[in-house]
């Protein structure tokens, strides 16, 4: 496992926080007066989700679900497994699905399809990062933090084999550039 000091910063903690505030303001505006449930995708989105909900100036319900598509590798297997489901009902609610990164689009597409069957009033996607070079399935991203290059990223919730999530910035894993 490479040391933390070898991770090349790509997006600074300051740039992330500024963008999260902008996303929070846009979401606050768009969902004013609506019953909003923010759903975080574990584990990668937990840091982003925590900062994002604090930037949303509305009362929100928060729930989580957990999926797996990577395992210990750096390439998506293409198979999405739902590991943990929501604990709250979302029928008739406005749902904002929060992802750390959309690269192939397979996970986001699976989750959007799954959640849509539960009859929410609306369903939109917020992704901190979008990696269009790896897209296999187009998904509508209503709120997008940053468009990034096709490199393996860690930090701010993103991991490699469960490591590096605690970095306050997003960086490139050495040897994955």
pLDDT above 70 (res 101): yes
Domain annotation for the chain: domains and CATH numbers: 4-69+77-170 (3.40.50.2020)
A 10 A CB-CB count for 137 gives: 12
pLDDT per position as a tens digit, 26-64: 999 999 999 999 999 999 999 999 999 999 999 999 999
Give the pLDDT of residue 133. 94
Give the pLDDT of residue 176. 65
> Considering Cα of 37, then 52, then 132, then 71, what sign does the dihedral take?
negative
Say if pTM beats, i.e. exceeds, 0.75: yes
Partners of residue 152 on adjacent β-strands:
none
pLDDT band at 78 (very low <50, low <70, confident <90, very high): low
Query: What average pLDDT does range 96-101 have in this prediction?
Result: 98
Give the pLDDT of residue 90. 98
Task: Report which of 38, 8, 12, 34 is spatially closest to residue 23, judged by C-alpha positions.
Answer: 38
A 10 A CB-CB count for 69 gives: 15
Residue 103 bears catalytic tag: yes
DSSP helix/strand/coil, 14: helix
pLDDT per position as a tens digit, 103-158: 999 999 999 999 999 999 999 999 999 999 999 999 999 999 999 999 999 999 99
pLDDT above 60 (res 73): no
Q: Which of 30, 63, 100, 103 is catalytic?
A: 103
Distance, CA of 151 to CA of 174 (rounded, Å): 10
Give the pLDDT of residue 110. 95
Angle at the Cα of 78 (from 130 to 146), degrees rounded to 5? 5
């Amino acid at each position: 496992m490479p040391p933390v000091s070898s991770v090349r910063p790509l997006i600074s903690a300051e740039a992330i926080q500024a963008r999260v505030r902008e996303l929070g303001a846009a979401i606050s505006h768009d969902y004013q007066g609506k019953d909003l449930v923010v759903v975080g995708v574990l584990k990668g989105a937990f840091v982003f989700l925590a900062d994002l909900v604090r930037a949303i100036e509305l009362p929100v319900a928060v729930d989580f679900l957990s999926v797996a598509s990577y395992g210990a590798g750096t390439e998506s297997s293409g198979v999405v497994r739902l590991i943990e489901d929501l604990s709250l009902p979302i029928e008739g609610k406005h749902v904002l699905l929060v992802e750390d990164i959309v690269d192939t689009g397979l996970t986001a597409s699976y989750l959007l399809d799954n959640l849509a069957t539960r009859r929410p009033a609306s369903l939109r996607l917020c992704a901190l990062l979008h990696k269009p070079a790896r897209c296999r399935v187009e998904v509508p991203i209503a709120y997008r933090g940053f468009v990034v290059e096709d490199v393996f990223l860690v930090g701010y919730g993103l991991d490699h084999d469960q490591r590096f999530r605690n970095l306050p910035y997003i960086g490139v894993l050495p040897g994955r550039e």
